[in-house]
Structure 1
Amino acid sequence: MTNKTDKIDFKREIDAYRARRGTFRVVDVPDLRYLMIDGHGDPNTSPAFAEAIETLYPLAYTLKFASLALGRDYVVMPLEGLWWARDMDRFTTARDKSTWDWTLMIMVPDWIDEAMFADAVEKVEAKSAPARLRDVRLETLSEGRCVQTLHVGSFDDEADVLDRMHHEFIPANGLSMAGKHHEIYLSDFRRVAPEKLRTILRQPVVEAERADPPPGGERG
């Protein structure tokens, strides 16, 4: 009798996918592998943003089923996003979405290699050919030490939380921002009411004396 393949849920296995509402926590994030696709502009109005989502999910599920065929099953991970702008205050006090750059991502297990990725791209292209399929890459993200919290509510209500993270908690703990703002969408924002959205907000940091300016320019 063949044993059923155990399904791994990396949200439960990796500590960096845990966060509590109302609490900022310093966490060491391991190197993780992602499907990634880049874009620019307001996520609410940019066609490229919707096209990126429509491209990532079919690829993520194709890789899951390819992995299952090898006897390794896992839960497809949630959508994530890296966000940055020339002026990082565009995320807090002056929330101008038209200036935002972004990378949408879905984490995949480290046993997903370039050959499996290339094969999945070919299969998705043959079946549905999403508009931005050839813009997707497989890349390892190294964030290291980060500060994160769980935000429950609308994306437009993140500003106050981020302002406290950036200007109170991080400097009060002898840290400085050093990397792109990172969001992990535990809820599917295409289906869940804005006030019920659950999002991990993450900011890579370093000790203050070692800090480099965040992406986009010098820190004010």
Structure 2
Amino acid sequence: MIAVDRPARGSDLTTVDLRREVPGYSARRDRFSLVEIPRVRCLMIDGRGDPNTEPAYTDAVATLYPMAYALRSRSRDRHGTDVRVMPLEALWWADDPSAFTTRRDKSRWHWTVLMLVAPWLDADDVAAAADAVAARGRGLRLADLRHDDLDEGLVMQTLHVGPYDAEGPVLARMHDVEIPERGLTMTGRHHEIYLGDPRRAAPERLRTILRQPVRPAP
């Protein structure tokens, strides 16, 4: 897991932006880059079905955001560090990979929505944050929340700008051209990082990092 320096307890409050500390939170449009991603700790909630119509997905997102802000408050109070809330992310997979690139059959998708957590925040911090969120009557899927590691290693990623439903050609190029031409093969799950708040941005302004774990082809 990545280590990020922070001040000792009792020292002056400092601010940490993990997007500057953890590789992989920037990408360029039309450029397919290889990045080595360290093992990180995340808040995660699992589910299945079309994210546009499945209430469990909406409830999962609505649980992660207040948890992230509660953990930010916890980090300031307990650890003396104001850590910026990270973007919403999601892992996506299906039994048939074409469900992503051609048919886009979202009813067959599985997903894990997640947010990266600062490495100094432990299980006690997560439990305290969950209690705070529950006390405010939020976090409909707190019972399904996991605090777990994500270890992707080598990935290929690029930036997509525009609606999520327009990702298909970009993913097809990544999967069918860019990855095999570099002597690689896909491993792990399709990963998306939503730069900005996807609940508020207009579709044409959405900025999404598309990431695929890879390894050398046999």
Shorter-chain TM range is: over 0.9
Return the alpha-carbon distance in structure 1 between the equivalents of residues 23 and 59 of structure 2: 30
For residue 157 of structure 1, what is the amino acid of its counterpart?
A
- For 2:5, the equivalent position in structure 1 comes to none
Q: Are the equivalent residues in 1 in contact too, given 2:94–2:108 (CA < 8 A)?
A: yes
Report sequence identity in percent. 52
What runs of 5+ residues in structure 2 fail to find an aligned partner?
Answer: 1-9
For residue 180 of structure 2, what is the amino acid of its counterpart?
P
For residue 53 of structure 2, what is the amino acid of its counterpart?
T
Cα root mean square deviation, aligned: 1.3
For residue 157 of structure 2, what is the amino acid of its counterpart?
Q
**Secondary structure of the structure 1 residue equivalent to 2:107:** helix
- For 1:22, the equivalent position in structure 2 comes to 30
Q: Is 1:176 aligned to residue 185 of structure 2?
A: yes
- Please report the TM-score for the alignment, with normalisation by the length of structure 2: 0.92
Residue by residue, what CA displacement relative to the aligned partner does 1:133-165 show, whole Å, maximum 9, x if unpaired? 110010010000000000000101100000000
Match of residue 165, structure 1, among 171, 174, 179: 174
Q: Is 1:59 aligned to residue 73 of structure 2?
A: no
Q: Is 1:112 aligned to residue 121 of structure 2?
A: yes
- For 2:164, the equivalent position in structure 1 comes to 155
Q: Is 1:44 aligned to residue 60 of structure 2?
A: no
Return the alpha-carbon distance in structure 2 between the equivalents of residues 63 and 130 of structure 1: 13
Q: Are the equivalent residues in 1 in contact too, given 2:32–2:174 (CA < 8 A)?
A: yes
Cα offset, 1:83, TM superposition: 0.2
- For 2:7, the equivalent position in structure 1 comes to none
Return the alpha-carbon distance in structure 2 between the equivalents of residues 89 and 106 of structure 1: 26
Matching of residues 69-148 of structure 1 within 5 Å? 69=77, 70-148=79-157
- For 1:218, the equivalent position in structure 2 comes to none
Across the two proteins, how many residue pairs are aligned to each other?
208
- For 1:11, the equivalent position in structure 2 comes to 19
Return the alpha-carbon distance in structure 1 between the equivalents of residues 119 and 185 of structure 2: 29
Q: Are the equivalent residues in 1 in contact too, given 2:101–2:168 (CA < 8 A)?
A: yes
Q: Which of structure 1's runs of 4+ aligned residues deviate more than 3 A?
A: none
Match of residue 198, structure 1, among 195, 207, 213: 207
